[in-house]
């Protein structure tokens, strides 16, 4: 996706985020918005979006995405902690692989 498409996606997701009242759907929209913000290089905005998700069913995914963003920022120690928190919430072979890759 190019910047124009990402900006358009961000606008649409922000609109959807405001219209959603269901916790599960809110988590879906907000995690996608966080990923778009990260792709645009807006790491602080992405991390801020993730903090808005409070449903316990989203803990593992939020921590995984948080780890991905922190890693992109160059903070491998914080990313390691986020991946570990994700694994505490739910077992995931993908997150295990990401965490193992940080150890190398």
Q: What is the pLDDT of residues 10-59, one digit of tens each?
A: 999 999 999 999 999 999 999 999 999 999 999 999 999 999 999 999 99
> How many C-beta atoms lie closer than 10 Å to residue 29's C-beta?
22
Angle in degrees, CA 33, 42, 84, rounded to 5: 70
Is the per-residue pLDDT at 104 higher than 70?
A: no
pLDDT score, position 103? 75
> How many C-beta atoms lie closer than 10 Å to residue 89's C-beta?
17
List Cβ neighbours of 17 (8 Å cut-off, separation of 6 or more).
26, 29, 30, 33
Give the tens place of pLDDT for each residue, 75-100.
999 999 999 999 999 999 999 999 99
pLDDT score, position 1? 78
> Looking at per-residue confidence, does 98 or 103 come out higher?
98
């Amino acid at each position: 996706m190019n910047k124009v498409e990402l900006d358009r996606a961000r606008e649409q997701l922000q609109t959807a985020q405001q219209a959603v009242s269901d916790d599960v759907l809110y988590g879906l929209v907000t995690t996608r918005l966080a990923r778009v913000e990260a792709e645009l290089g807006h790491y602080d905005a992405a991390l801020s979006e993730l903090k808005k998700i409070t449903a316990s069913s989203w803990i593992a995914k939020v921590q995984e995405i948080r780890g991905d963003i922190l890693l992109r920022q160059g903070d491998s120690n914080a990313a390691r902690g986020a991946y570990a928190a994700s694994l505490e919430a739910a077992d995931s072979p993908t997150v295990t692989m990401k965490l193992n890759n940080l150890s190398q």
